[in-house]
Amino acid sequence: MLFMGVDIGSASSKCVIIDDAAELVAQAVIPAGTGTSGPGRAVEKALAAANIGDGGNGGANRAGGGRGNDCIRQIKAVVATGYGRNTYENADDKVSELSCHAKGAAWIMPGVRTVIDIGGQDAKALSISDGGKLVNFVMNDKCAAGTGRFLDVMARVLEMNVSELAVFDEKADGLVPISSTCAVFAESEVISQLAKNAPIPNLIAGIHQSAAARAASLIKRIGAEAPVLMTGGVANNAGVVRALSRLMGLEVLTSPFSQTAGALGAALIARERNGC
Ligand code: ADP
């Protein structure tokens, strides 16, 4: 028996499949399309990428009808989460991102006490109890600063892919501070630093420091307690992770499942709700 979690975010759709022993079967991350098809199409792609033989209908075959293969027939329940969860019609349940990230984080790292989740358009700090329960959280969903969007905009200004930022950051021998807290003003600041020929690695280190400072202030509001796990797509940016560890004075950990933590949590909740 299999359980599926689908996390439809602003920047990407994530799909995770687990079995009845809560072991990972497949995961996929598909960047959100910019076309007219929207998140539903991205979810279909994620399901196909997860290699579960979707048959092109977004998982609706899971009960065994239509073109679904054996694996699809085994999918007992689907939980959707994320900002676009209400757009996904094939879910049995829809669950908040906070609950899913807490659940996913506790699976990734048993004993985790603090989670910092930085996605495409928001950032959240979660405090987790001994038993893996969410006990407190704070979030920034009002301002682009310190979110993936901020980093995406900066990468565009620097004419590089967001995945290249960390590579340059590693070469920094100093830091060009970004003083504006507002993402729009920070963008102007970066443009003017470029005009002054500021060294690119040091400028990127400053951008990462600025994003990490926002995350650190969120974590401080709930009280940082180790171990700290970073989830969300920005966990792929080693430059931000390093800057955050430095600012917090403790190691911020990541996992190959950091970006899919929400979808993983959704799959775990689907499993629990079906008595496993
Ligand atoms: P959402 O859940 O809102 O869709 P994600 O958790 O998928 O967002 O995070 C998206 C953000 O993660 C992007 O805005 C980008 O800044 C960052 N990101 C994603 N992949 C990478 C990568 N390979 N390297 C660096 N940053 C990345």
pLDDT digits (tens, 9 = 90+) for 3-25: 999 999 989 989 899 999 999 88
Q: Are residues 83 and 176 in the same domain?
A: no
Which H helix or E strand runs over 190? helix 183-195
Q: Are residues 138 and 233 part of one domain?
A: yes
Residues 50, 161, single domain; the answer is no
Residues 23 and 83 in one domain: yes
Same domain, 102 and 136: no
Q: Cβ(179)–Cβ(152) under 8 Å? A: no
d(CA 54, CA 218): 39
Atom number in ligand 1 closest to CA 14: 7
Least confident of 69-73, 116-120, 161-165, 257-261: 69-73
| Percent of residues, the chain, with pLDDT higher than 90 | 67
Judgement on whether residues 242 and 264 belong to the same structural domain of the protein: no
Our answer on whether the CB atom of 231 is closer than 6 Å to any ligand 1 atom is no
Rounded distance, CA 159 to CA 145, Å? 19
The reported pLDDT for the residue numbered 211 is 96
- Same domain assignment for residues 134 and 18: no
Question: Which structural domain, as residue segments, surrounds residue 150?
Answer: 112-253
Helix axes 261-272, 97-108, angle to 10 degrees: 90
Do both 125 and 72 map to the same domain? no
Distance CA 173, CA 100 (A): 39
Q: Look up tokens 């420091």; give the residue.
A: 209
Lowest mean pLDDT among 12-16, 60-64, 120-124, 161-165: 60-64
pLDDT over 70 for what percent of the chain? 85
Query: From CA 40, how far away is CA 57, in angstroms rounded?
Result: 10
131 and 244 together in one domain: yes
Query: Residue 8 pairs with which residues in a beta bridge?
Result: 13
Task: Check if 201 has its Cβ closer than 6 Å to any atom of ligand 1.
Answer: no
96 and 116 inside one domain = no
Helix (H) / strand (E) containing 207: helix 200-222
> Which CATH number covers residue 35?
3.30.420.40
The owner of tokens 């996929």 is 28
- CA-nearest residue, atom 9 of ligand 1: 233
Helix (H) or strand (E) holding 131: none
| pLDDT value at 70 more than 60 | no
Substitution site in 115, 230, 237 for ligand 1 pocket (most atoms within 8 Å of beta carbon): 237
Query: Which pLDDT does position 56 carry in this prediction?
Result: 39
Both 102 and 125 in a single domain?
no
Q: What's the sign of the alpha-carbon dihedral 215, 264, 236, 83?
A: negative
> In the chain, how many domains are there?
2
Rounded to whole angstroms, the Cα distance separating 23 from 177 reads 44
Q: Looking at the structure, do residues 233 and 196 belong to the same domain, yes or no?
A: yes
